[in-house]
Structure 1
Amino acid sequence: MTDTGTSPIAVFGSVNIDVCAYSGRLPRPGETIHGNRYSMGLGGKGGNQAAAAARLGARVEMAGRTGTDAFGEMARARLAGFGVGTGHLRADGGNPTGIAVIGVEDSGENCITVIGGANMAVDRSDVEAAAPLFRNASVLLLQLEIPLATALAAAALTRAGGGRVILDPAPAPAAGLPEEALRAADIMTPNETETEALVGIRPRTPEEAAAAAARLAERGLGIAVVKMGAQGVYFRGQGAEGFVPAFPVRAIDTVAAGDCFNGGLAFALARGDELPAAVRFAAACGALATTRIGAADAAPTLAEVKALLG
C-alpha cells in the first residue's frame, strides 16, 4: 500500500450495483429483444471513487448505506476487494441497495435507470455515526447522489479537522447549487455539462473554462477544476492556475473517467502533491479509465498511472 499519510481518504456517497444488458440495439417502448450478454458490477459515484483511490494504494474508508439484500452483500464484497474499508457503510433494512439498470447497444448508445434506494435515505444519523472518520480524514470525497444537506454536514466536520473537501457536482441539479455548497467545498470538479448547469458556460476551451472558474470563485468556491473530457482540464484557485491537455489514449468507454479522476485527485493531494501536479496525476487516472470497459473495474493502478506520466 502506498503511504498517503496516517489519515484516511473518506468517501461519503452512493453505492450501487450496475446491471448492464448489451444488445445489438436498444429496444423500442413495448418491445422485447434478445441481448448478447450482461454484467453486474460495483457502481455509484461514491463507490467508484472509493475504488479508484484504493486501487492506487490509498487507505480509503467508505461511508453511506446499502440495503440488507443480496446486492448489498455484493457491493460490500466488491468494495472490500478493492481494499476499501466498509466499517462506516451502514446496512439499511428498510431500503434496497441502489442499482443502475443500463442498456447498451453495439454503437455505444445507452440508456440508464438509476434507483437510489438506500442512498437516498442517508441522513444526519449517518454523519454522526461516521463523525470520527470525517474529522480525521485528510481528504473527503463527496458527490450529489445522496441528499445534499447530509453531504454538507460531513464536509463541515472534515474542514473543522483540517482536511480538504472535494465535491463532484454530479448529477448537477437543474436549478444549480446554492452558494452554501460552493463555500462548503475546498475543491469542486465539474465537467462540461455540470459547469454549464452551475454558471451558464459550457467550456470548450481553456479560456471558456477560465471564465467559468471565475464565476464559481465569485460565488465563494476556493478551487475550481473544470474537466473538459478530450479537451483537457483547467484549474484555478489559491494562487495556482493552469491547463492540462488530455493524454493521448485510445478511449473505448468514458463512463468511469470522472470518478477515476476524482479518486486520483484525492490520492495525490493526500500524499502531499501541490495542486498542479495533483491535477495532472488525476487527468492521467481519468484517461486510463477510458481505455477499458466498466465503472469501478476500470480504475488504474499506481504503476499504470506512473507509466503514462512518464
Structure 2
Amino acid sequence: MHLERLALDPSVGLAMPPQRLVDALSDVGVPVELVDEDEQFGPGDAVVSFGHRDSFLDADWVHCIRAGYDEFPVGVYDEAGTYLTNSTGIHGTTVGETVIGYLLVLARRLHVYRDAQHDHEWTRPRYHEPFTLKDERICVVGLGTLGRGVADRAAALGMDVVGVRRSGEPVDNVSQVFTPDRLHEAIEDARFVVLATPLTEETEGMIAAPELETMRDDAFLVNVARGPVVDEDDLIAALEDETIAGAAIDAFTEEPLPEDSPLWDFEEVVLTPHVSAATGKYHEDIAQLVGENVEHIAAGEELINRVV
C-alpha cells in the first residue's frame, strides 16, 4: 500500500474540531485534507472517520476514530480489500475517570445535592443513604482497555474488584476473573456492575431481567459500553420496581435518548450523552495512533488495531 492522501471525513466533527486533527496530523508525511461527505476515493487514499460511508470501500485504508466499530460492515470491507482500523487502547484514562466519577456521585449523593441546588433547596440525606467506595465490591464486565482503566482506579480507592473476561485470564488489580458463563455469579454480590464490553452478537442483550434480578437491590448498573448491551425496557422495569438501586448510563439503544424515555426521570439514574471518553486532547490521541499506522504502512508493517 502506498498512501497519497489522508482524507478526514466531516463526521470527525462529532468528536472534535476537525481542524484540530488536521493540525495534529501535519507532520505525518502524507497530505492531509478535509473532505465533503460526497467525496469519492480510490487507490492511495486513507480515510479517517467517525462512521461508515459506502464510498470508503474504494479507499485503501479507513480508520475509525472510535473504539467501537459495530456500524462498519466488516465483512464488506474484507471483500473490498479495504483495511479497517479502530481506536481501541486510548480510552482507558478518560472512561476510567468518568466511571469513578459516577461511583462517587452515586455513593456520596452528589446528584441529589446538585438537583437540590437547582431548586434552591437545602437538602440533607437520610442517615443510611451516603456510603463510601472503600471495600465495596465492583464487578467490571469486559477487561480490555476500558475495563482495566476502571479496575485500576477502583482498586486505588480500596474497592474489591472482580471482573468478567472471555478468556478468564488474570488481570492486574482484579481479585477474581470470571468467564461469561459465570456472569450471574460475578455480579450477584457487587454494589456496582460496570459494563465495558464491545457490542457483539454475544454481548447484545447481555444484561436483561434475569441479570438485573440477580443483582443486589442496593446495586447500581453502569454502562459505558454500547446501548444494546442492556435491554433498556428491562432496565426501566427494574428501576421502577426497585429491583436495583439505580444506574449511570452513557450509552443508549437510541441516541439521542428520546425525550419521552422514562430514564430521564429517575432520581437515582445519572445520564450522560455518550461522552465518557470525551477530552479536549482527543485529537492528539487520534493523531498519534493514525501517525503510527502511517509509519507502519511506509515500513510494510502490520497495522495497529487492525480490524480487517
Normalising to structure 1: TM-score of the pair? Answer: 0.32
Q: Relative to total residues, which structure has the larger strand share, 1 or 2?
A: 1
Normalising to structure 2: TM-score of the pair? Answer: 0.32
Q: Relative to total residues, which structure has the larger helix share, 1 or 2?
A: 1
